[in-house]
Amino acid sequence: MPCCCGLFNAHRNDSCQVVREPGAEPFYLPGQASWSRVRKLKVLIRPNKYLEGIAFRGRVSSVSDVSIPDEARQFLIQHVRSIAQLEILLLLHSEPNRSWTVEAAYKVVLSNRELVGKIFERFCKLGLASRSEAGTYQFSPTSDQMRTLVATLATLYRERPGRIVQAIYEAPVSEIEEFAKAFKIRKDP
Amino acid sequence: MNAIISGAILLGYWAIGVCFSRFWRTSGDRFFGFFATAFWLLAAERLLLIFVELENEMRPYIYIVRLVAFLFILYAILDKNRRTNLPKRSN
Amino acid sequence: MIAKIVYLLCALASLTCMAFLMRHYFRTRLPLLFWSGLGFLLFAIANVVLFIDLVIVPQYDLVIWRNATTLAGVVVLLYGLIRTKT
């Protein structure tokens, strides 16, 4: 199986975490390494098929059999559809009193300015963030339960990022939502 | 034979409208509401075609109902792209 | 004149729907998108046959063909919608 360890400035480790995009061939991510942020990688899984936007930072723990709690998994399915969205959510959560501009967030996540803006707007609509008149965004979940769940996600992502990534990509697809999405000329972030 | 097929089409359009209205209730996305309305209009058009005689001079205007139905569909698409509507999920 | 425009607009709208649905189907491979795309394609064909019937060859009666095509579209679309889990 292809291993993308060489793409990272990391050491190959025996405890690799397998992460799969639904329908794609499995590939390995380094299970234990420390590296600076890896951004916007395209990993070839099969010809012309890429798994985009994998970004890890900090130290990844070794493979664990402990699954993600159901509540956290449900929260992920309903609110987080990609790694980029997760990164931005956790960025907002990391400094809850700070008001972020799109530019400031972009400089941290190093994704795509337009995408960052769209993700901020999405979180505002989902009740995870608020937008000020000055056009800045701040972490402001509408309920304590949401706040707790995001905190749980932040901890889980630090300890088991592979599991979180897997949960995002294995989220069940709603055919009805996809029917409506089909008519969008420009796809959602 | 033609009447049987027309009747089946009428029933089919109505059922499709019911399906889309169910999606509308489940997802909260008005996109499906527009589609449900469109197909119910197509059902109404089919009903008119069945009962209005061929010789009736108003018959060609019945197709305007079909046009309105498809305009609803086109409007649904435009509306979908104009706003970033996020449907509410219900379990 | 208006009738001709109506028929062609309906065909165009159906084709547009089919294009959107099939484009997304090839990305996601979801059955609902396939069946509904096929349904709209049949609606588009039915509207084209209607145009041909009433405008191009009015001396012939193609009502059975256009009704059969419409019915096929209805059946296909309904099948796709019914089998979808909400």
pTM of the predicted model as reported, rounded to 2 decimal places? 0.60
Closest CA to A84 of A109, A62, A60, A49: A109
Query: Per-residue pLDDT tens for B20-42?
Result: 999 998 888 899 999 999 999 99
Closest CA to B69 of B42, B46, B48, B44: B42
Q: Are A37 and A61 in contact (CB under 8 A)?
A: no
**Overall domain count for chain C:** 1
- Cβ-proximal residues to A160 (8 Å cutoff; 6+ apart), any chain: A61, A64, A66, A68
Per-residue model confidence (pLDDT) at position B22? 92
Chains near C with 3+ CB pairs less than 8 A apart are A, B
Q: Are A72 and A64 in contact (CB under 8 A)?
A: no
Q: Which two tokens stand for residue C16?
A: 């547009």
Query: B24: distance to nearest CA of chain C, Å?
Result: 10
Cross-strand partners of A52: A42
Cβ separation of B76 and A183 shorter than 8 Å? yes
The minimal CB distance from B86 to the residues A125, A179, A186 is found for A125
- Residue-wise pLDDT tens for chain A (189 aa)? 333 433 333 333 333 343 444 444 434 444 433 333 333 333 333 323 333 334 333 333 333 445 678 888 888 877 888 888 998 999 999 999 999 999 998 888 877 888 888 889 889 988 899 999 988 999 999 989 889 999 988 988 888 888 888 888 777 678 888 899 899 887 665
B3 compared with A60, residue with greater pLDDT = B3
Domain hosting residue C24, numbered range: 2-82
The minimal CB distance from C24 to the residues A23, A176, A181 is found for A181
In angstroms, the CA A58 to CA B53 distance is 76
**B13 touching C, CB under 8 A?**
yes
In angstroms, the CA C85 to CA C2 distance is 41
In terms of Cβ atoms closer than 10 Å to its own Cβ (0-12, 13-18, 19+), residue A140 is: middle
In angstroms, the CA A111 to CA C9 distance is 41
Per-residue model confidence (pLDDT) at position C14? 92
In angstroms, the CA A189 to CA A111 distance is 11
Domains of chain A: residue spans and CATH: 1-63 (no CATH), 64-189 (1.10.10.10)
B15 to chain C: which residues are within 8 Å by CB?
78
Query: Per-residue pLDDT tens for C34-79?
Result: 999 999 999 999 989 988 888 888 888 888 888 999 999 999 999 9
Cross-strand partners of A46: A49
Chains near A with 3+ CB pairs less than 8 A apart are B, C
Residue whose pair of structure tokens reads 């008001």 in the numeric block: A99
- Domain residue ranges in chain B: 2-82
**A114 touching B, CB under 8 A?**
no
